[in-house]
Amino acid sequence: MIYNYPMNVKSGPVIFLLILTIILIFILGVRYGQKVEKANKIINYALNLPATPTLQPTQIPLGFNEYLHKTCGVKFLYPSSLQLEKETTNSAIFSEKNQQLIKLSCDLKPILATDEADLLQRVNTRNGKTIRIFIDKSLRPLIEKSLEFANQ
């Protein structure tokens, strides 16, 4: 079946609806443009802010001193932040902030087997003394690398 639409439909309401649709699209476009403009202003403001320098903590330069114990016949490097707290003819103690980090002792007793991870033991072949150094774990690589037997 073929439908025949009457030709006498008034074009006034159709034109009115078409105009309202065009006005609605225009208003929506203006509102969208305002949002885009606002976003662009925020982005431009953020991009134009001067860069603030990030503050880096001041790091104290690390220095080392060489320690020589003549009676034990041993020398090694230690951080300059450590202080020699006590020194006797066969021992020395280094500390930092009331914490003992290195304890050195030497005697003629033979080395005893030990499982302590913070104990470094060596025999000075020049004088036959057993060198025992109790070391903080953070300082162990430094002491091991720099430990030497000195001439008396």
- The pLDDT tens digits along the chain (152 residues) read 565 655 666 788 889 999 999 999 999 999 999 999 999 998 888 888 887 777 777 777 778 999 999 988 899 999 988 999 999 988 999 999 888 889 999 887 665 545 555 788 888 888 888 889 988 888 888 989 999 987 65
**What 3-state class would DSSP assign to 112?**
coil
Domain check: are 97 and 130 in the same one?
A: yes
Is 29 inside a domain boundary? yes
pLDDT at 49: 83
**What 3-state class would DSSP assign to 77?**
strand
Q: What is the pTM of this model?
A: 0.56
Number of domains in the chain: 2
Domain check: are 81 and 137 in the same one?
A: yes
pLDDT at 66: 93
For 149, the token pair is 């037997």
Domain check: are 118 and 137 in the same one?
A: yes
Domain ranges, residue 127 = 64-149
